[in-house]
Amino acid sequence: MNDNVLKKEFSKKDVQRARNLVKGDMSARTTEGIGYTKKYDHHIEGDVWEENGRKWTIKNGLKQNVTKMDKFKKMGTTPLFCPECNNLMKKHLDSKVFPAYQKCFDCVVDYEAQLKKEGKSEEYFNKLRNQHIQSAMDEYKVFMEDAIKESNSNYITEAGDIEDWKGGKSKKQLEQELQEGLEFFENLKS
Ligand SMILES: [Zn+2]
């Protein structure tokens, strides 16, 4: 890595940090009064702990919900690379199978070939596929319902950035989004 690339990386990170600070400031102001002074004084910046089955951390002085929200934001879109084989996912079929299986078409073919070798039927595949979709759906539902009732709407992405996920959306809009998301999954089922 040459100097210029390094500098570029640094400045990119700095910009992100500055953005997070601004966001942190804003949410500090909006949550003032209710619950903001709640006790989490035994936790310091950067601590990660579990409370009521959820993960929390302190970032920029604020208590934040740690969640794998990236996954849900990208719901319905296919990442560039297959998480299983790391190959580029560029085929139309990749984006078709991805939401249900979280892997590329080739990986699904291998997976099903393995099952066929074990003597599983077509019916079995459909059932399995629906089970995959259902579990993704359940996870999504829990995530959304959490977001809807959560007063602290800041989340930390897997990259460690704070995002105000609600983005000014009302409870009603979120509920609408949840409904659409569930329909999206339902339509994938066979
Ligand atoms: Zn793959």
Predicted local distance difference test score (pLDDT) of residue 164: 62
pLDDT tens by residue, 112-140: 888 889 888 888 878 888 888 888 788 77
- 96 CA to middle of ligand 1, Å? 13
CA atoms within 13 A on the CB side of 126: 5
Distance from C-alpha of 166 to C-alpha of 147, rounded to nearest angstrom: 8
- 98 CA to middle of ligand 1, Å? 10
Residue that the structure tokens 């953005």 belong to: 19
- 186 CA to middle of ligand 1, Å? 24
Q: Which residue has the higher pLDDT, 58 or 9?
A: 58
In the chain, the percentage of residues whose pLDDT exceeds 90 is 3
- 102 CA to middle of ligand 1, Å? 9
Distance from C-alpha of 74 to C-alpha of 95, rounded to nearest angstrom: 12
Q: Which residue has the higher pLDDT, 150 or 175?
A: 175
- 66 CA to middle of ligand 1, Å? 28
- 105 CA to middle of ligand 1, Å? 7
Residue 189 pLDDT more than 90?
A: no
